[in-house]
Amino acid sequence: MVYDYYQAGKGSNFPKPYSAMAASAIVATGVPVDAFGNNQLAGRLQSAVIRLGQEIGNLMDASGPNSRTA
């Protein structure tokens, strides 16, 4: 889901869709990902929301209004 999300251009902060997919999978297991900085929980929640089919923009280290709405 995250790969397809980035492939469709809904997120743009990872160089390739597979990078976003890998970061999402890794953070979901509880392993820290550098891209999410000090807020691993936000990255974990955002990747889960994307996998649930919501559009929130980029996966990042802070939850914005799109994440909170989703």
- pTM of the predicted model, to two decimals? 0.85
Q: Which amino acid is at 60?
A: M
Cβ neighbours of residue 31 closer than 8 Å, sequence gap 6 or more: none
Give the burial class of 68: count Cβ atoms within 10 A of its Cβ; 0-12 exposed, 13-18 middle, 19 or more buried. Answer: exposed
Cβ neighbours of residue 13 closer than 8 Å, sequence gap 6 or more: 20, 35, 58, 59, 60
Segment 23-55, tens digit of pLDDT = 999 999 999 999 899 989 999 999 999 999 999
Report how many domains make up the chain.
1
Q: Residue range 56-69: average pLDDT?
A: 72
> Residue 60: what pLDDT?
78
> Residue 24: what pLDDT?
95
Q: How far, in Å, CA of 39 to CA of 44, rounded?
A: 9
